[in-house]
Amino acid sequence: MAKIFCIANQKGGVGKTTTSVNLAAALGVSGKKTLLIDIDPQGNASTALGIDHPEGTPGIYEVLVDGTPMADVIQQCPDVDGLWVCPATIDLAGAEIGLVASVSRETRLKDALTAFFKDYSVDYVLIDCPPSLGLLTLNALVAAQEILIPIQCEYYALEGLGQLLRNIGMVQEHLNRELIVSTILLTMYDGRTKLADQVANEVRNHFGDIVLRTTIPRSVKVSEAPGFGQSVMTYDPGSRGAMSYLDAAREIAERGTRELA
């Protein structure tokens, strides 16, 4: 059974895409078959993994709106064996509106994955959400079992989190009873500032052990890698950024094992 994570936070620029891409690559290089679904019209995750996605490229839009099988649109990541990507194009910007009138519009992604798993198996599915709580994020929350919330170690980090958690509550109540907020990852941690420590402590006190022990440092290599169409895992495997995403992936995999035992 695949573990399906939705990487969500309606706050923009907190590291959702960076986390999705690098965790997916870290899981891939660790031998876990992983599918990354880019459900953000910005298509940043597709770019960052070296997947061509000009307008018209078949991807998540076709899956959600036309019912195209997931298997027909996924592409293998050129740099990481065991990592596949369902790309997003700017066409997806129209999907929110296109889906409004559709039948079972919130379960499109879930239905697509259920059909996909009849013929294929992977260990992990990671869904990179846009910075909003619209129909695209809703599809991700309905399809997922677990939510990973990246939190940036900066001022206003917790702003909007209440709204996100209330929305998740509604999804749990009405659309996906199995959904849990299983994981929080502190991102862009700058050890030189007191503020980063304060935010990290506040988040740990509030959320307890769903916060991963690993924090992701602010690192130039992490921010440079997408410009080369690569995750930091292949762009600079020895860097602190790469190591920390590898640690985060290990923690997530270990938790999974603990849960089953």
| Residue 248 contact partner, candidates Mg ion, ligand ATP, none, CB within 5 to 8 A by sort of partner | none
Backbone angles phi, psi at 168, to 5 degrees: -60, -40
DSSP-derived pairing of the beta strands 34-38 and 124-128? parallel
Q: Which region among 11-19, 92-100, 111-119, 140-148 touches ligand ATP (by CB under 6 A)?
A: 11-19
- Judged by CB, which is closer to Mg ion: 53, or 116? 53
Please report which residue ranges of 79-211 form alpha helices under DSSP H. Answer: 95-100, 108-119, 135-143, 161-174, 194-207
Give the number of residues in contact with ligand ATP, rule: CB under 6 A: 18
- Judged by CB, which is closer to ligand ATP: 14, or 249? 14
Say which amino acid occupies 67: G
Q: How deeply is 221 buried, as exposed, middle or buried, from its count of CB atoms within 10 A (0-12, 13-18, 19+)?
A: middle
- Judged by CB, which is closer to ligand ATP: 148, or 179? 148
Could you say which of 2, 4, 18, 116 contacts ligand ATP (CB under 6 A)?
A: 18
The answer to whether 122 and 35 are in contact (CB under 8 A) is yes
- Judged by CB, which is closer to Mg ion: 44, or 75? 44
Could you say which of 30, 68, 71, 131 contacts ligand ATP (CB under 6 A)?
A: 131
| Residue 13 contact partner, candidates ligand ATP, Mg ion, none, CB within 5 to 8 A by sort of partner | ligand ATP
Q: Where are the beta strands (DSSP E) in 18-66?
A: 34-38
The answer to whether 4 and 34 are in contact (CB under 8 A) is no
CB of 13 to ligand ATP, least distance (A): 4
Could you say which of 142, 183, 218, 246 contacts ligand ATP (CB under 6 A)?
A: 218
Q: Is 15 in the site for ligand ATP (CB under 6 A)?
A: yes
CB of 204 to ligand ATP, least distance (A): 18
Q: How many CA atoms lie within 13 A of 222 on its CB side?
A: 23
The answer to whether 14 and 187 are in contact (CB under 8 A) is yes
Enumerate residues 184-213 that contact ligand ATP by CB under 6 A. 187-188
